[in-house]
Amino acid sequence: MVGHYQRYEDSDTSGEQALPRPPASMAIAQIWDIGPQLPASVPKAPEHTATPSAWLDFETDASHHVALVLKYRRERAEWIQKHGGSPIRLELDHVSAREMIERGGGRYVSTLPSGLKRRQGV
């Protein structure tokens, strides 16, 4: 007891694990980081008879897409400079691996696409 305040600790911060750790043989999943991917959805221009608001929406979508492409180019150049353009093998627990694949926008895959070769020593 410190002063008149009693100290409480969470199970996570007290050094105890909240959940038991799975066996080491089952805890690892292998996924590949193939680097940033180009956004797939390209906005389509409306018909020439479309309303001005439809054209304005298209211009907004197109400018957003251009920003995503520029972001992709910057991130891809940084990734290639850092990793040499080769896929990187990651070993994670199954839940984290599944979440990375689902939320990665095509960047993380469980098997390498044909044509990609892994870097030696990885």
Cα diameter, the chain: 76
DSSP character for 91? E
Average pLDDT over residues 97-121: 77
**Pairs from 23-28 (Cβ < 8 Å, separation ≥ 24):** 27/93, 27/94, 28/91, 28/92, 28/93
* Two tokens, residue 39: 């956004």
72-96-18-22 Cα dihedral, nearest 10 degrees: -150
Is the pTM here over 0.85, yes or no? no
Q: What is the pLDDT of residue 120?
A: 43
- Parse the chain into domains and list their residue ranges: 29-37+51-109
What tens digit of pLDDT does each residue of 8-66 get?
A: 555 555 555 555 555 555 567 889 999 998 887 899 999 989 999 999 999 999 999 99
